[in-house]
Amino acid sequence: MKLKSLKAIKLKQHIYNFVFLPLVLLNSKPKDLINKYPVYIFHHIPKCAGTSTIFALRHWFFIVKDYWSSYHPKEIPYFIQHRVKLQSLRSYKCLCGHFELPETRLYKRYPEVLHNQNFKIFTFIRDPLEVNTSLYYYEKKRGKRKGISLEQHLLTRNNFIARILDCTLDNYKDVLDSYFFIGITEHLQLSLDKLAMLLNKRKVKLPVLNRAKRDSQTSGLPPAIINQFKAKNELDYRIYDYCLSRFHQTP
């Protein structure tokens, strides 16, 4: 039997889809409502403006969420075993998920989407230092980083983005090239405008949502700590730089 937390997520999803139904219909062509392909998948990397992005996506798609609730860790085994049925999706729907657990990396959870033109996968990337800093304050707010300073956090969680994307130094370019579009969080509005053009959708003005408050630690980071962080996160910076280069080449 499904756990209450997963039921709550799905219920909230249905409510939001109903509220945004007029916009989805307005921004979709008739063929999008009946075509099975392409199926769109948003790989939501944590702390890369995913909440704001989903706000825009709701104007274009019915959102199909594939998340587990961190407030209910006991549901993880059930979540791992019950993935979304891809055959139930259509072009007017968008599958969204973090895919952050080792057992639920995108290409492990949905291996059939790998190098398959029927599936259009996109994501957003952010400067690795900003990602990890934002993670620290988000987790601190939820009581998970008690007694740990920002400096300690930055030097103990390495290549977070690479782990989510399941990248190595040898394959990161191939992995990134399998994505239909990669936006840049620091250029969020421009990224969504470019994505809208690729999707042939109307542009959406974005709000900034789910932003965690920060304290004075961010302004006092010693250069030595930043340099250590960059050295420990070489792969994440290679990923970020490659995505930046690709982004600037996208019309």
- Cis ω for the linkage preceding 223 (within 30 of 0): no
Summarize pLDDT for 70-88 with one digit per residue, the tens.
667 788 898 899 999 999 9
Burial tier of 208 (Cβ tally within 10 Å: 0-12, 13-18, 19+): exposed
Per-residue confidence (pLDDT) for residue 210, from 0 to 100: 58
- Residue range 104-114: mean pLDDT, rounded: 94
| Tokens standing for residue 205 | 């003005």
Give the whole-angstrom CA distance, residue 121 versus residue 104: 16
Query: Above 50 in pLDDT, residue 221?
Result: yes
Q: How much is the pTM? A: 0.89
Query: Above 70 in pLDDT, residue 211?
Result: no
Instruction: List the CATH code of the domain at 4-249.
Output: 3.40.50
